[in-house]
Amino acid sequence: MENSSGVPMLNARIPPESPGRWLAGLLIAGLGLCSVVTLTVARAGGTGGYTTHPISTLALAGGAVGIALLSRGMADRGDRTGSGRLLALAVALLLYLVLSALAVVAVTTGSGAASLLVGIWGAWWPVPLAVLQFSALSARPHAHRWSILYGILVASAVGAMAPLLRSAHPFAGHPPAAPDDWHISAATTAATVLVSLVMLTTALLLAYGAARVPAAERTSATLGAAAAALAPLLIVVCMGTAVADDPGDIAPTAGSVAYLVSMGAGCLLGAAALVASTDETTSSPKARRLLSGVLGGYAATGVTLAVTWTGAALGPAGPLLSGLAVAAVTAVIGVAWWWTSSMLTRFAVPSSPADVPAAPPNTQPPPGLELLSPREREVLALVAAGARDAAIAECLHLSPRTVETHLRRIFTKLGLESDDGRNRRLLAARAWLEATGTDA
């Protein structure tokens, strides 16, 4: 709908959601519920192991639901692209649960598809992590061009693992925790190493990029890098179950349940970090909590593995020496976490007046522009004043690519997405002038 001047009406800028999105949501929810019920019934019927364990089942289901809610929140504020990425992450995590249910049913019923389903299920663990990192890559303007190559590499590795991974005793344990229960070929090992290296490299590249952006963009870039860093952390947790089993003497099932809980919680934390990285209204305390949470995951993993190894190695020396060593290791890692967390948050979250972006001139958004974030309103106000991208970047201490990203989001929220030959920049400027009552 347009007014007499040809400017789109602001109250019609966001089209209603199509019935297809609601049907897709209901289908996803139905699959998740059916999977939870199937695994619960299998557990009650005597199918043990970590796959049917209620804690791991609820962790995966709860993580998927939480991410879906975050996705809905991003859609409500007009960021359909970011919402789509989070929805893909929720689906990837939920499919892990669906594949678990299908594999359990196939194995317990003696289906001929059991071997294939177990292989796909066993090779699915990198997929949610890859979607999380892909989302972090795609959200960063300077890293976007690497996201396609990243997707090809990870998809190829997962595709190679799925048909090659075979279980001798399905669901007896996780491959790293119980290697005797799995037939792991050299190709599967190579694919696992490739996935691990690619994910570690991606996290390091995003961290390097976060260190080079202007001060006004550090929080967003660092949160994106933190979200990507959760993928290699979860790989460490997965491999750490081997340490928990030997020399830690912890049952493989317990370690694998811990891994699935970490997967659900880690993906949810990563999604929250991605949401915060794209939200201009993210507060400093919230950013600090998210960064501390990611680093806390690394610290908790380090403490668990170090304590397990130290306790087992010094066990013969007696409980006193073993206990003192464990306490010392825990204290060292705890101090390292506190110091690293403090240093990172001081770098990432501006605290001095010179580093804090100027507050928008209006504390309340003009009528009809409520969906725009404070930073987007600043950008649009400068556009309406006739400033070009380079001048806007210099005035707001942003990179030109970041200004382009803000403009794309502004056009989306104002309903100016269609490429119909209209000057979207001019129409957006007219919308601002009319909303603020300054249109001549």
Provide the pLDDT confidence category of residue 281 given band limits of 50, 70 and 90: low
What residue spans define the domains of the chain? 20-282, 374-436
Share of the chain above pLDDT 70, in %: 76
As a whole number of Å, the CA-based R_g of the chain is 25
Cβ(111)–Cβ(176) below 8 Å: no
Average pLDDT, the chain: 76
What gap in Å lies between CA 75 and CA 82, rounded to an integer?
8
Q: Tell which CATH classification among 3.40.462, 1.20.1070, 1.10.10, 1.10.3470 matches the domain 20-282.
A: 1.20.1070
User: Quick check: 429 pLDDT over 80?
Assistant: yes
Condensed to tens digits (0 to 9), the pLDDT of residues 348-371 reads: 775 443 333 443 444 455 666 778
Work out the average pLDDT over 47-74.
86
How would you class 128 by CB atoms within 10 Å of its CB: exposed for 0-12, middle for 13-18, buried for 19 or more? buried
Work out the average pLDDT over 303-328.
74
pLDDT at 242: 62
> How far is C-alpha 228 from the geometric centre of its chain's CA atoms?
7
Q: Helix (H) and strand (E) counts for the chain?
A: 15, 2
Q: What is the pTM of this model?
A: 0.72
> Six-digit token pair at 373?
């974030």
Cβ(330)–Cβ(303) below 8 Å: yes
pLDDT at 247: 58
Q: What torsion, rounded to 10 degrees, do the Cα atoms 16, 147, 136, 217 define?
A: -100
Condensed to tens digits (0 to 9), the pLDDT of residues 182-220 reads: 566 677 778 888 888 988 998 898 888 888 877 767 888
| 3-state SS assignment for residue 27 | helix
pLDDT at 63: 92
Work out the average pLDDT over 110-139.
85
CATH for 374-436 is 1.10.10.10
> Six-digit token pair at 180?
């005797």
Work out the average pLDDT over 300-320.
73
